[in-house]
Structure 1
Amino acid sequence: MVVTFDLFGTLVDADRPESPAAAVEAALSARGIAVPADWTVAFREAHIDAPGGAAVPLPAHVAAALRSRGVDAPGNAARRAVVAAFDPDVRTRAGAVDAVAAAASRGPVGLLSNCSVPELVARTLIRSDLGREAFDATVTSVGCGWRKPHPKAFEAVAEGLGVGADAITHIGDNPAADGGIADLGGTFVDVDDAGLETVAERLRAGAPPGGE
Structure 2
Amino acid sequence: MTATAAFVFDLFGTLVAVDDTPQPAAAVADALAARGISVPDDWASAYREPHIDAEEGAEIPLPAHVAAALASRGVDVSDTTAGQAVIDAFEPVVETRAGAVEAVAAAGEAGSVGLLSNCAVPTLVARTLSRSALDDEAFDAIVVSVDCGWRKPDPRAFEAVARQLTVAAAELVVVGDTPATDGGITDCGGEFIDVTETSLPTLQTSLTESQPCR
- Asked if Structure 1 and Structure 2 have the same fold, meaning a TM-score greater than 0.5 normalized by the shorter chain, the answer is yes
Asked if 1 retains the 8 angstrom alpha-carbon contact of 2:64 and 2:79, the reply is no
CA–CA separation in structure 2 for the residues paired with 1:4 and 1:204: 17
Q: Give 1:206 shift.
A: 1.4
Query: Which of residues 2, 7, 20 in structure 1 aligns to 2:6?
Result: 2
Percent identity reads 61
Aligned match for 2:88, one of 64, 84, 87:
84
Spell out the pairing of 1:63-142 with structure 2 (5 A cutoff): 63-142=67-146
Alignment equivalent of 1:11, drawn from 12, 15, 19: 15
| Counterpart residue type for residue 172 of structure 2 | I
Q: Shift of residue 74 of structure 1? A: 2.7
RMSD: 0.9
The letter for the 2-side match of 1:157 is V
Given the two structures, how large is their TM-score scaled by the length of structure 1? 0.96
The residue aligned with 2:38 is 34
- 1:5-45 residue CA offsets vs partner (Å, 9 max, x unmatched): 00000000111210111111111111111111100000000
Tell me which moved more, 198-207 or 56-65: 198-207
The Cα of 1:169 is off from its aligned counterpart by 0.3
Deviations along 1:26-71, whole A, 9 cap, x unmatched? 1111111111110000000000000101000000000000000110
Aligned residues: 207
Q: 5+ unaligned residues in a row in structure 2: which ranges?
A: none
Which of 173, 177, 180 pairs up with 2:177? 173
- Letter of the 1:199 counterpart: L
Letter in 2 for 1:160: Q
C-alpha change, 1:163 and 1:153, in structure 2 (3 Å) is: same
Which residue number in structure 1 is paired with residue 209 of structure 2?
Answer: 205
Structure 1: which 4+ aligned runs deviate by more than 2 Å?
Answer: none
TM-score normalized with structure 2 length:
0.95
Q: Deviations over 1:75-116 (max 9, x none)?
A: 501000000011111110000000000000000000000000
Aligned match for 2:53, one of 42, 49, 56: 49
Unaligned 5+ runs, structure 1: 208-212
